[in-house]
Amino acid sequence: MFMKGKKGLIIGIANERSIAYGIAKKAKEQGAEFAMTYLNAQFEKRIAPIAEELGCKHIYRLDINEASEIEAVRESIAKDFGKIDFVVHAVAFAPKEALSGRFVETTKEAFNVAMTTSVYSFIEVAQKLLPVLNKGASLLTLSYLGAERVVPNYNVMGVAKAALEASVRYLAADLGREGMRVNALSAGPIRTLAASGIGDFKMILKWNEANSPLRENVTIEQVGCSAAYLLSDLASGVTGEVHYVDSGYNITAMAAVEKDGEKTALVWDRIRNKQD
C-alpha cells in the first residue's frame, strides 16, 4: 500500500460517480486516511454514506468560494490531523447558459463565476491550507483537454481549465521551494454530475471512444489509479505537470477511419445521427 500513513483532504465528491470518488476509493485502498468536504446540507446527505463506506471519519462543510469556510476547514484539519500530505481539488462550475451556443456571447458574469469557482478556488485552497501541509505534500486538481483544444459546448470552461493548468505551473514553481508538488490530472470524458451540464455530452463520449488509441472511454477507477500515483511518494519527482488519463485521445490529430474493421463517422453530425 503505497499511500500508507498519508493523510489528506478530498474536495469535490458529489456522489459515487464523481471522479473524486474514484480518487478517494483508490487512495483508501492504498492505505491513505483523509477528510472529505460537502457543499451544503443537501450534499451532506449524499456524502455521509460515502464517508462511512470509505472509512472517512471527518467531513467538513465547504463552499469553495467562501474564504472563511476554507479557513474553518484548515482549523478542523489542524485539530483532527495536525498536518496533511495531500489535497485533491475536484471542483469546477460555470453557468449552464455559458456551456452552449457561441463562446463570443459569454457574459462577464458567467466568465467571472467560472474563473472564480474553477480556478481561483484552487489557488486559495493552496494559500489557506499551506500552514497545515507537510513538506513533500502533493496538491492535485482536475482538468480536461478542452483547456487546449476546442470542444463543442465546453466554451468558457475550456478557458477556465486553461487558466487552471497555468496556475498549476505557477503554484508548482512557488511551492516547490518548500518541497511541495502541484499537478493536474486531465481525464477523458466520464459520466458525472458535472458533465451532465455539457450539451451533447453523449456525443463527446461516442467520439472519444471511436477516436482514442485504446478505442474506449476511461473510468473513475482508472483516473483514481493515476491520481493515487501523483499523490504518493511514487511521484516525488513530478510537479507542474498535466497528466492525461483519456485512453490516449489527447495525442490524436484526425478522426479515426476504422473501428474494428467498420467505417467510423468522420463528421460530428454523422456521429450524432448514428449514421456510421
Residue 249 falls in the annotated catalytic set: no
Helix locations, 144-189, DSSP H: 156-175
Q: Compute CA distances 56 → 22, 34, 60, 92, 107, whole Å.
A: 14, 6, 11, 23, 40
Catalytic residue among 60, 144, 229, 249: 144
Question: What pLDDT is recorded for position 178?
Answer: 94
Question: What pLDDT is recorded for position 196?
Answer: 58
What Rg value do the Cα atoms of the chain yield, rounded? 19
**For the whole model, what pTM was predicted?**
0.90
Digit-coded pLDDT (tens) for 223-232: 999 999 999 9
- Cα 26 to Cα 8: distance, rounded to the nearest angstrom: 13
Residue 170 falls in the annotated catalytic set: no
E strand intervals along 130-225: 133-143, 181-187
Phi, psi of 151 (to 5 degrees): -120, 125
Catalytic residue among 21, 60, 120, 154: 154
Question: At 252, which amino acid appears?
Answer: T
Residue by residue, what is the 3-state secondary structure of 212-248? CCCCCCCCHHHHHHHHHHHHCHHHCCCCCCEEEECCC
Digit-coded pLDDT (tens) for 150-201: 988 899 999 999 999 999 999 999 999 999 999 999 998 887 666 555 657 7
**Domains of the chain in sequence order:** 7-198+218-251 (3.40.50.720)
List beta partners, residue 223: none
**Arithmetic mean of pLDDT, 6-34:** 96
**Arithmetic mean of pLDDT, 201-220:** 86
Q: How confident is the model at residue 61 (pLDDT cuts 50, 70, 90)?
A: very high
Question: What pLDDT is recorded for position 269?
Answer: 53
